[in-house]
Copies of this chain bind each other. A is one copy, B any other.
């Protein structure tokens, strides 16, 4: 799987002024800011920048220092591990109203980023520089609480990834993915076997075999780059093993 590097062009789509519309959008997604005192709120908006990134660009590579903490207004990012042999596992996804914890973590202990991150869709957000992140932690209770929440909630979610990878069969984990889509009301997925494999940390061949089996049992119908979920009940039943 290959991702475009973040280009200068993409970086240039940034503006320094935060519009009132953007502030309103931010406040609904990051309610913590409302509880801060007016002083901090102004400091915050003055210090952060609005950015837009296209889909499929690499945000942070293994071993890099993190240059910015990004708070997402829209879109989704994926953080994953890459093995020397080229296999992947996704550790977690970042949605609107969240920020990348690993960035926060490696900003806090000055370490390097222990994984890779890419945009899965076009992404909009505010970025904050590492020194601000650190300073505000010590000074602003609301900001501190926000960062803490990020760290501790991700810890639990990454632990559940360990659990899945170590204990669960791959067909069950694929069924789980499908069940999540069904829960969102989607009965048709635009996804390749290779992408599913990268998600669950397996290889394409294994995913293909299992999907073929699903298709024979009538759970799904597959075509190039697309999967129809045809038997919701059976999928949900399998996913709960």
In the complex, the answer to whether B155 meets A105 with C-beta atoms within 8 Å is yes
- The one of B109, B141, B153, B159 in contact with A138, judged by C-beta atoms closer than 8 angstroms, is B141
Q: How many residues from A make CB contacts under 8 Å with B? A: 39
**Is chain A's binding surface mostly helix, strand, loop or mixed?**
helix
Interface residues of A in 69-97 (CB under 8 A from B): 81, 83-85, 87, 89, 91
A204 at the interface (CB under 8 A from B): no
A46 at the interface (CB under 8 A from B): no
> Given A138-B141, A144-B144, A148-B137, are A115 and B159 neighbors across the interface (CB < 8 Å)?
yes
The distance from the CB of A6 to the nearest CB of chain B, in whole angstroms, is 22
A225 at the interface (CB under 8 A from B): no
In the complex, the answer to whether B87 meets A159 with C-beta atoms within 8 Å is no
**Number of copies of this chain that the complex holds:** 2
Collect the chain B residues with CB atoms within 8 Å of residue A118's CB. Answer: none
Interface residues of A in 146-172 (CB under 8 A from B): 148-149, 151-156, 158-163, 165-167
> Given A137-B144, A144-B138, A155-B102, are A91 and B162 neighbors across the interface (CB < 8 Å)?
yes
CA distance A152 to B111 in the complex (A): 9
- The one of B89, B109, B154 in contact with A166, judged by C-beta atoms closer than 8 angstroms, is B89
CA distance A106 to B138 in the complex (A): 21
Collect the chain B residues with CB atoms within 8 Å of residue A130's CB. Answer: none
- The one of B106, B109, B159 in contact with A149, judged by C-beta atoms closer than 8 angstroms, is B109
Collect the chain B residues with CB atoms within 8 Å of residue A83's CB. Answer: 163, 166-167
A189 at the interface (CB under 8 A from B): no
CA distance A109 to B163 in the complex (A): 21
In the complex, the answer to whether A87 meets B151 with C-beta atoms within 8 Å is no
In the complex, the answer to whether B87 meets A153 with C-beta atoms within 8 Å is no
In the complex, the answer to whether A158 meets B158 with C-beta atoms within 8 Å is yes
A175 at the interface (CB under 8 A from B): no
A-B contact pairs, 7 of them (CB 8 A): A91-B162, A105-B155, A108-B148, A108-B149, A109-B149, A137-B148, A138-B144
Given contacts A151-B155, A155-B158, A165-B166, 8 further A-B contacts (CB under 8 A): A83-B166, A84-B167, A89-B166, A104-B152, A114-B156, A137-B144, A137-B148, A138-B141
